[in-house]
Each structure stands twice: as C-alpha cells, then as structure tokens.
Chain A
Amino acid sequence: MRATATNEIGIPGSAIDEVFPFHVAIDEQLQVVQVGTAMARIAPELAVGTALVKSLLLRRPHGQLTIQTISNSYDQPFLFEVRESGVRLRGQFLRVPDGIWFYLGSPWFNSAAEIEAAGLSLADYPAHDPMAELLMIGQTQQIALNDLHEVNEHLERQREAVKRTERIYRDAIAAADAVAYHANTRSDRFEFIDAGISHLTGHNADEMTPSLLQSFFVETKEIGYRGNDAASGRPATRRSDHRIRAKDGSERWLSEASVEVLDTDGRATGVVGILEDITERKDKEAERERLSVELDTILRLSPQGFAAFDERGLLSYCNPSFEEMTGIPRTRLKGVQLNDLDDIFSALSDEEPVFTSFVDLAEDDSDEIAITRPRRRTFTRSLRRMQSATDAHSGWVLFMRDVTREREIDRMKSEFLSIAAHELRTPMTSVRGFAELLLSNEYDQAMTREIAETIHRQSTLLVHIVNGLLDIARIEAGQGEDFVYERHNLHDLVQQTVDSLHIPGDSRKVQVSLTPGDAPIILADAKKMIQAMTNVLSNAYKYSPDGGEIALTILRHARNGRAEVAIQVSDAGIGMDETEVNRLFERFYRADPSGAIPGTGLGMSLVREIVELHDGTIEVDSKRGLGTNVTVILPEATQPDNLATAGATR
C-alpha cells in the first residue's frame, strides 16, 4: 500500500519520508495506507490498515473527520492529537490520485524540552520545517525576557537604593535645617523645592520660582566655582553665600551649594542645590573677626613680644615686637620650632648664653635673657601653655618684655647711690672729725676758728650737694611741669646771669658778645636758664684757675629748618681729654680728680637736664691744657605763635 501511494504522486517512498517524516496517508475510508518513520515513533498505534481516527483525534477544524471535511477544508491546517501521547500535530492534507490523501504534518511543541520528552530531537525534523527556528526564536525571546527581568530587578534594587538614599538625604537636609531644590532654568520653575524655603523668605514654596528666589538676594559672595568638563561630562558646580532679605525685612545668610543638571547632549537644563541657613555662623564669624582684629591691633601696638606655637611646638604667629626682638622677619619665623629659639637667641649674643633653654623652661615659668646684637638688650620671657575648653586646640604662648631700660635704671640707681653716698661721706667725715676734735680738745681761738671754718666749708659743700641732688630730682620728677616758660630776651637773661655771677677771689669779667641787631627771643623758665648759664660760667672760672679770658658769645643759626640760638662759653683753662668730656654729664663726675677745685660734680648734670627740658642741646669741645667750649643751643622763639607750639611740646 505504501508503495502504491507514493508511486501515485511520483515521489519515491524513501524520498517523501525524508522530506515529510511525520506524514500519514489515508484512503477514502480514512484507513491508514502509509506512515512516515518519525510519525510511527510518536504514534506507534498508527499502523497501516487501521482507522486514522483510532490513533489521531481531530482538534481542528471542529467536527467529525470525514473525507467530505477534508475536501471542504483542503487548504486549511488540520490539527490532530495523538490519542496515546497527547502530542499535537499540525499539517495539511494533500490529495493525490486514486483517492489517497496525504497528511503532511509535524508535531508541534512549545519548547525543546517537550520535544525531548516526546522521545524526539530537532534532528528528527526535516530541514524545511521551521520548528527548530521557531523554538530558537521562542528561546531567544525567553532569554531576552529573562534578561529584561534581571535588568528590571537590578533597576528595582537601584530604585529602592535611590529611595533609601533620598530618604537619608532628606532627613539629613531636614536635620541641617537646609532647603533642597531642583530648578528648571529653562522654564524658570522649581521641579522641586523644600517647603522650608517659605520660612527663609516668607514666600510660599508653591509659588516660588528661581528668579523670584534670586530677587531675595541682596548680596552674593561666590566661594567657589568649577566649570563643566565637556570631555568627561562633569557638570559645573558652585558654592556661594547669599545675604537675603525676607518679606518681613529680616536678613539672613544662606549658603548655597549647587550643581548643574545636564541633558543627554551635555546641555544644562537646570540646577540642583542645597540652601543652608548660616546666619548664626556668619554672626559668630563676624564676632570672631572683630575680636581677631582687635587682638591683632593690640598685639601689633604692644611693645611686648608675643609668639604663639601650635601643639607641635611650631610658631604659628608672632607680633612685630617679637620680630624686632629676634631681628628675624615674621615670614622666616613662621614654622620655627619653639626649641630652635634657643639657637636664634644664642646667635644674637656674643657672650655665653645665660638663659634657660626652652627644653628646660618649665611651662608657666619665666626667665631673663640678654643679647648683645644689634645692641645690648635684656628681655624677660614667660611661656604659657594654652588649652581650649574643648581640648581641640593647644599650644604655647611666649611672652617677651624688653626690660633693658629698667635694668639700666636699676644699675644706674645703684651706681648713683654708691657714688652719692661716697660724695656725702667725704665732707660728713670731715665735719664729724673736726667736730669731735673740738669736743675732745681745747684749742686756742685761732685753731678753733680754723676748725670751725673747715666744718662750715664742708657742711656748705654738703648743703650744695644735697641742693644739687634735690634740684636734679625735682627736675627729673617734674619733667619741666613746674617750669614757667615765657618769652625772654636772651640778651637780658645773659646780662642778668653775668651781673649776678660772683666768683670769690676772681676778678675776671666775662667777655660777652651779643648778636647784632634784635636780641634773640627764647621761650624759657628764666630762673632755671640763669641757673644753667651760671653753672656753665662758674665751671669756666673754676677750671681756669691760672687765668685767661672767659667769653660768652651768642650766635644765631638755623639747623634742620629751625631757628636756633647758641650760647657759647669759652675758657682757656685746664681742659679735658675725650674720655673726660664723655663723662662730663655723669653725676658726681669731676674733671679735677685732685679735689683742689671745689664742686659737687652735679652742676653739668643739672645744666643738661634744664637745657633738654627747653628742647635744647648742649655740646662740649675741649682740649686738655687748652681750655673748653661749652655751647648751649636753644630754639629761637621768633614768632609769638611759637609760644603755644613750644609750650605744647613740653
């Protein structure tokens, strides 16, 4: 039968089985006349001579399978189900001569696994059958679907993560009392802005726009800006501080940090940012700045040296006085180790350092150091530990005070007391000694008188010394406050001085040379000035015991644009060498060490005090054995207006 059927359509049986391995041929009685090899495997009961419907159940079209049905639906697909296995067949009937119908079908599966479960493989399908391709397409779509699910799950996880992050940021922003926003700069509207903006501006967040928000800014300070980078797609970022004036007129400071929003082409479409109320911080900063300026000014003006060191002992600040004390510019001092200051101060001293090393200098302790370069100076140093309340900052502050003058005054006082005691003791000893002689012995009248005269002379010297000391002390203490400055004709003052001068046992007259023309006018305390000139003239007499002219010359000249008058007193006396001239103004210094010339050694010291309080200077030119010129130079009060000026300077 099989051979008959295939012969009818002119195709060898083996060939049609290769092309349609799932075929079955039936006759007009629906009896099977031929079965494909693959069909026989999925429907073993489908044997030649059996009724087709015994093995196969028609699923489509509906109805009973008859030759009439097959004829009517000749060009339609017929679906059968193998009764035994449930495998579905999809195919088409082909009528060949002699009433033979071929059903050219193939089993339909939805997955490769179903094919294998049915005991088949894709190799059982003929090459023209698209089942393999359909399954591959299905499989590919399934894989793609799985991929999409996977990507979707991933995105879902990301979305959750983004939501969590957003919640965290929102909480953080809320905790920071900040306002987050997303501004669409193209449409000038906020895609989003926290409701908190209404608290800052007094304007409803729902109606807020970027340009409206900007209208609240009255001052903007740009803190930082980084432009976008087209190559990497990095958007521009900006940090600014804004002073805003709210609707109610109150002012606040807002800190804004923002970043551009770019579209896929890298064009800016908007800005996202955060606004933070930093009013309190700004106020504190301003207060801190004010305090800093105050402190800086105080430290700059302070004659004391200050240097601050950080917790590592590195110099972080020093004031100009400290700079001057070390002789090193601040730029070089910055970062110097506290301990290295030992070397710096050692280098400023030609002598062996006598100060305590910083290593040994205890905290909150003080010591004293002396340097010799550029000049001899003495400083006290105090090191204080500094510690902030929160322990966040620590370090040291070094405080240095220049005590050179104090130490010099101390030294001079000691020296002066020693000399004064010595000078007072000499006549006192004499007075005491001669008084004892008178008390313990009987002398004749002449001797008694001589002793009494000695006592008188020595006590007079004592009185002069004490008076001289008191004059100096008074002038030093008063600093000229008790002087009565008035305009005086210098010629008159000189004449008064010369007229009142009386040198016992010396008949020489002072040779006075006055300035030609109008007499110079000086602003002076007449009494003090006469005292000074008397002292100078008195010395000229005393130190020219062998005679010679005593001359007083008044000269006018100008120095540094100032009209001055010079009172020059010359003698041809014993004169002084340079060393003696340099010591002339020391108290109790006597150019006559023999003591033959009477005097207290205080006269020239007093002259200098008086002249300097008259804004004048004194110059001495002397040669041993040739005589001495003492020149007192005073400012000339040429205009009445100078009165006030001169007086004001004292």
Chain B
Amino acid sequence: MYGLVNKAIEQMVRGAHGPEMWERIKADADIDAEGFISNQPYPDEMTYRLVAAASSALDTPQEDILRAFGEHWVLHTALESYGPMMRATGKTLREFLQKLPHLHTRVELIYPNLQPPEFACHEISDTELDFHYWTKRPAGLEPFVEGLLYGLGKMFATPVRVELRQDRADGHDFSVFRVSWNKTD
C-alpha cells in the first residue's frame, strides 16, 4: 500500500491517543521508519502489522480499528488531501457512490502501483443501494469499507446504515453492503 495509508493510521492514532501510543504501536509492529512518504509504495504486510499492533495496544478488535480507520480515511485523509476531487465526484452520497469508479480511475493514473478496489452500485430504492466491493487483497478489509461508507455519510451529512450482506470471507468473489439512509427531501 502507498505510504498515504500508513500515514493515515499514524494520524488517526496520534490524534486520538497521542504520540507515545503511536511510538508504542510502531515498535510493537516492528517498524522503525521515522515517517511515511505518501506516494511511496510500502508492503501491505506493514499496514496489517500496524493494524494488529494498534488493536492489541488499544485493546480494541481489529474490525473496530479498521472501521474507525475507514471513517478517518474519508473525513480526514481524502478530504484534506484531495478535497476538490472528492467534492467534484458527487454532490450527494448517491452520486458520489455511483461515480466512485471514475474517481478510482483517476487515482490509478496518479498511483501506478496501486491495486485499487473496484466498486459498483446497484439501485434498490431512493434511499438504499447495494454497494459491491472487489479487491485483490485478502478478505478482512470489509470493516474498512464499512467505515468508508459511514464516513461518506458524514461527509454528505446523510447518516447511513450499512449492512454486510455478502462477505468474501465466505468464499464469494465480492462483498455486498446494503447502504440505506433516510430520505432528506
């Protein structure tokens, strides 16, 4: 993964638990890098170790860590780094989710070594849709995607409910989240 991801984890831990906790997690994850460069690729293994160490140090399940990280990714990392791009992707949650594949097309051009996930939306009704998620990475990142969806809900001031209806962990090719929200207009 690109350094941006590890840096986001660092930012989240530092912001919520202080620099000492980050140093401890980094040490537990056996990482001695003094900082991450956002556009430099790092081994996925390093990110997984950070998540595992954070889970242990904060005595929090890895799923909760990933969920919180998903929200943080949208509301801080993505918005602070690529706000205009995010805003240009859609004016509503629905529009954003529908155009998310286009956003990743652009991201892939900028980060050539990226293995971006693929998403697809299937309309269910005015206030709900099924959000399909493919990735080449091992199963287990679903809570992160769930956190992303909650974060986007907050970004568009549209609180969402997210339900994992199909999980790659069960042998499926892709996972399916049912995303629903209240009608606002």
Taking Cβ atoms with an 8 Å cutoff, the residues of A that contact B are 112-113, 115-116, 121-123, 127, 132-133, 135-137, 139-141, 143-144, 147-148, 150-151, 154-155, 158
Our count of residue pairs bridging A and B at CB distance below 8 angstroms stands at 60
Taking Cβ atoms with an 8 Å cutoff, the residues of B that contact A are 3-4, 7, 34-40, 81-85, 87-88, 102, 106-107, 109-111
> Which residues on the B side are within 8 Å of A135 (C-beta)?
84-85
Evaluate whether A136 and B110 lie within 8 angstroms (CB atoms) in the complex, with A121-B84, A143-B4 already known: yes
Evaluate whether A143 and B35 lie within 8 angstroms (CB atoms) in the complex, with A122-B88, A132-B88 already known: no
> Which residues on the B side are within 8 Å of A137 (C-beta)?
110
Are B85 and A112 interface neighbours, CB within 8 A? Answer: yes
Q: CA of A211 to CA of B182 in the docked complex: distance in angstroms?
A: 82
Q: CA of A116 to CA of B135 in the docked complex: distance in angstroms?
A: 34
Most chain A beta-carbon contacts within 10 A, residue among B82, B84, B87: B84
Are A147 and B84 interface neighbours, CB within 8 A? Answer: no
Are B39 and A144 interface neighbours, CB within 8 A? Answer: yes
Are A133 and B40 interface neighbours, CB within 8 A? Answer: no
Are A112 and B84 interface neighbours, CB within 8 A? Answer: yes
Are B38 and A140 interface neighbours, CB within 8 A? Answer: yes
Other A-B contacts than A122-B85, A139-B82, 13 sampled, CB-CB below 8 A, are: A132-B88, A137-B110, A140-B38, A140-B110, A143-B39, A144-B37, A144-B40, A147-B3, A147-B7, A147-B35, A147-B36, A150-B35, A154-B34
Are B82 and A147 interface neighbours, CB within 8 A? Answer: no
Could you show 12 A-B contacts with beta carbons less than 8 Å apart?
A115-B84, A121-B87, A132-B85, A132-B106, A133-B106, A135-B85, A139-B81, A143-B39, A144-B40, A147-B3, A147-B36, A151-B37
Indicate which residue in A127, A141, A150, A158 contacts B39 across the interface (CB closer than 8 Å): A141
Closest to A109 in B: B84
> Which residues on the A side are within 8 Å of B84 (C-beta)?
112-113, 115-116, 121-122, 135
Closest to B35 in A: A151
| A45 CB → nearest B CB, Å | 27
> Which residues on the B side are within 8 Å of A132 (C-beta)?
85, 88, 106
| B10 CB → nearest A CB, Å | 11
> Which residues on the B side are within 8 Å of A122 (C-beta)?
84-85, 87-88
> Which residues on the A side are within 8 Å of B36 (C-beta)?
147
Q: CA of A465 to CA of B87 in the docked complex: distance in angstroms?
A: 137
> Which residues on the B side are within 8 Å of A123 (C-beta)?
88
Q: CA of A133 to CA of B39 in the docked complex: distance in angstroms?
A: 15
> Which residues on the B side are within 8 Å of A148 (C-beta)?
37
Are B81 and A143 interface neighbours, CB within 8 A? Answer: yes
Evaluate whether A112 and B83 lie within 8 angstroms (CB atoms) in the complex, with A144-B39, A144-B40 already known: yes
Q: CA of A140 to CA of B4 in the docked complex: distance in angstroms?
A: 10
Are B110 and A133 interface neighbours, CB within 8 A? Answer: yes
> Which residues on the A side are within 8 Å of B102 (C-beta)?
127
Most chain B beta-carbon contacts within 10 A, residue among A113, A115, A144: A144
| B152 CB → nearest A CB, Å | 17
Closest to A151 in B: B35
| B79 CB → nearest A CB, Å | 12
Most chain A beta-carbon contacts within 10 A, residue among B36, B83, B85: B85
Q: CA of A121 to CA of B88 in the docked complex: distance in angstroms?
A: 6
> Which residues on the B side are within 8 Å of A155 (C-beta)?
34
Are A140 and B39 interface neighbours, CB within 8 A? Answer: yes
> Which residues on the B side are within 8 Å of A133 (C-beta)?
106, 109-110
> Which residues on the A side are within 8 Å of B40 (C-beta)?
144
| A21 CB → nearest B CB, Å | 14
Q: CA of A116 to CA of B84 in the docked complex: distance in angstroms?
A: 8
> Which residues on the A side are within 8 Å of B81 (C-beta)?
139-140, 143
Closest to A123 in B: B88
Closest to A115 in B: B84
Q: CA of A151 to CA of B35 in the docked complex: distance in angstroms?
A: 6
Closest to A116 in B: B84
> Which residues on the B side are within 8 Å of A158 (C-beta)?
34
| A111 CB → nearest B CB, Å | 9
Q: CA of A113 to CA of B85 in the docked complex: distance in angstroms?
A: 11
Q: CA of A429 to CA of B34 in the docked complex: distance in angstroms?
A: 115
Q: CA of A349 to CA of B111 in the docked complex: distance in angstroms?
A: 94
Most chain B beta-carbon contacts within 10 A, residue among A116, A121, A143, A155: A143
| B20 CB → nearest A CB, Å | 16
Indicate which residue in A112, A115, A143 contacts B38 across the interface (CB closer than 8 Å): A143
> Which residues on the B side are within 8 Å of A136 (C-beta)?
82, 85, 106-107, 110
Q: Please give me the 3 A-B residue pairs with the lowest Cβ-Cβ distance, nearest first.
A: A112-B84, A122-B88, A151-B35
| A451 CB → nearest B CB, Å | 119
| B58 CB → nearest A CB, Å | 24
Most chain B beta-carbon contacts within 10 A, residue among A121, A127, A140, A141: A140
Q: CA of A536 to CA of B87 in the docked complex: distance in angstroms?
A: 137
| B29 CB → nearest A CB, Å | 16
Q: CA of A155 to CA of B37 in the docked complex: distance in angstroms?
A: 14
Q: CA of A94 to CA of B81 in the docked complex: distance in angstroms?
A: 37
Closest to A143 in B: B38
Q: CA of A346 to CA of B39 in the docked complex: distance in angstroms?
A: 84
Q: CA of A144 to CA of B7 in the docked complex: distance in angstroms?
A: 11
